[in-house]
Amino acid sequence: MPARQVCQNFFRDALAPLHKYRQNALLAATIVLINGASLTLTSIG
């Protein structure tokens, strides 16, 4: 099963109140991190 689908299923209840655009942005960021990117405070801005 693709990582995006696993994340959507796992976070379904938590993401339900969010607008679809925000859900997609959060899932995209999660997939990037799963694929090896790093998330640090300095990279956020």
Give the Cα separation of 18 and 41 in Å (integer). Answer: 23
Enclosing domain of residue 26: 3-37
9: in domain: yes
% of the chain at pLDDT higher than 90? 11
Give the Cα separation of 10 and 23 in Å (integer). Answer: 13
Which residues are within 8 A (CB) of 29 and not within 5 positions of it... i.e. 6 or more apart? 39
Arithmetic mean of pLDDT over the chain: 86
Q: What is the pLDDT confidence band of residue 45, given thresholds at 50, 70 and 90?
A: low
11: in domain: yes
DSSP state of 11: T
Two tokens, residue 44 = 């956020």
44 pLDDT above the threshold of 80: no
24: in domain: yes
45: in domain: no
Domain count, the chain: 1
